[in-house]
Homo-oligomer: A and B are copies of this chain.
Amino acid sequence: MSVSLSPLLGVDARLGEYGDIVRAAIAEGVPLDWPEEWLRIVVADYPARGGKAIRPALCLATCEAFGGRVIEALPSAVAIELMHNAFLVHDDIEDSSQLRRGIATLHDAHGLPLALNAGDALMVLAQRALGANVATLGARIATRVAGEFSTMAYHTIQGQATELGWIRDGIVDLGPDDYLELVMRKTCWYTTVHPLRVGALIGSWGSADLEAMVRFGFLLGAAFQIRDDVLNLVGDERAYGKEVLGDLIEGKRTLMLLHLLRAAGGSDRSRVVDFVRTPRTARTPDGAAAILELMRRHESIQFAEHFAAGISEDAERSFEAAFGRRANTPAGEFVRALIPYMVERSI
């Protein structure tokens, strides 16, 4: 397979190109001997819904910036996107979400049992994709990539457990530091840190300093997550593809919610605490809209947007430190352009 990319393109178009390559590889990789109705269709559903492909694009572009070719990092990028979709499937079940990328979640469309199993299948396919690295990258680099993947999953699961635990046990005594630590684990490792590390590892044939990627990845991923949380409050449901105010209904501890819990006093704070401690099925859209109104009054969304803008500035500096002279390659410029993209995107 040969892969070529246009040299100059905007972020959206470039994401589209990387995304097309990865989606094609994923579609080709769904095993033909798996039963169609009960597994192949269910497994292929989310990846074909056309997400932004930020994660695999970041991996592929970083590989290029560090001197490698797209094809060398493709199995690892495919594994990242598959794992992302596995997390989405299981996350949607855990949160009882109803919409994903504008249509019914996998468990609503196919029933919970087959959806849960398809999430497991996506993880299995991710591991198979990594297995292909042995032949193309050799056992030494392939083993390091597999270790990076395992570390990424380790942190993601930990972050997910903490978020679910906060919700289940009605934890509200949390500040921005708690939020950032959560986001580092549940979002940044698999969205930015891991794609950056693996791209640099493969592109540099194992010689790049991967530790510098952790700080940049953390800042880039935190900016991404805060924007995601804001879009859930103020976004256009059709463009955004999830239920607007869904995070509030699910009881998610976002930066805005934590700000509101600190900024509001007296009866306002009590209303927020009561809302997030209400059982999930008893939280109504009207109740969520009332919390959103409180967030507007206490300027919680503005706070989060300023917070993300500050993180974004730090990310610019840590990008230079992580990429060094590779910052000025075309692929490096694409990665740099992702920094403002993260806080400006509307989907």
Contact = CB atoms under 8 A, between A and B. Distances in A.
Nearest to A121: B157
A111 B168 contact: yes
Given A124-B154, A127-B127, A131-B147, A162 B38 contact: yes
Interface in A127-150: 127-128, 131, 134, 139-140, 142-143, 146-147, 149-150
Contact of A94 (B113, B121, B153): B113
Contact of A39 (B37, B149, B157): B157
A109 B291 CA distance: 31
A116 interface: yes
Given A93-B116, A147-B131, A153 B124 contact: yes
Interface in A229-282: none
A93 to B, nearest CB: 6
Given A116-B93, A139-B139, A161-B121, A154 B31 contact: yes
A54 interface: no
Nearest to A161: B39
A45 interface: no
Total identical chains: 2
Contact of A114 (B37, B150, B164): B164
A35 B124 contact: no
A180 B226 CA distance: 51
A126 to B, nearest CB: 10
Nearest to A158: B34
Contacts of A143: 134, 139, 142-143
Interface in A60-90: 90
A168 B116 CA distance: 14
Interface residues of A, number: 47
A329 interface: no
A117 interface: yes
Interface string A36-65: 011100100000000000000000000000
Contact of A116 (B31, B116, B149): B116
A142 B134 CA distance: 12
A7 B123 CA distance: 40
Contact of A38 (B39, B123, B164): B164
Contacts of A120: 90, 123, 153, 157, 160
B35 A114 contact: no
Residue in A118, A165, A167 with the greatest tally of chain B CB atoms within 10 Å: A165
Nearest to A147: B131
A64 B316 CA distance: 56
A266 B95 CA distance: 46
The 9 lowest CB-CB distance pairs between A and B, nearest first, are A38-B165, A94-B113, A39-B161, A139-B139, A38-B161, A124-B153, A113-B164, A121-B157, A127-B150
9 contacts: A31-B158, A33-B158, A35-B158, A38-B168, A39-B158, A94-B112, A94-B113, A113-B167, A121-B161
Interface of A: 31, 33-35, 37-39, 42, 90, 93-95, 111-114, 116-118, 120-121, 123-124, 127-128, 131, 134, 139-140, 142-143, 146-147, 149-150, 153-154, 157-158, 160-162, 164-165, 167-169
Given A38-B165, A121-B157, A124-B153, 6 more contacts: A37-B165, A90-B120, A116-B116, A117-B157, A117-B161, A127-B150
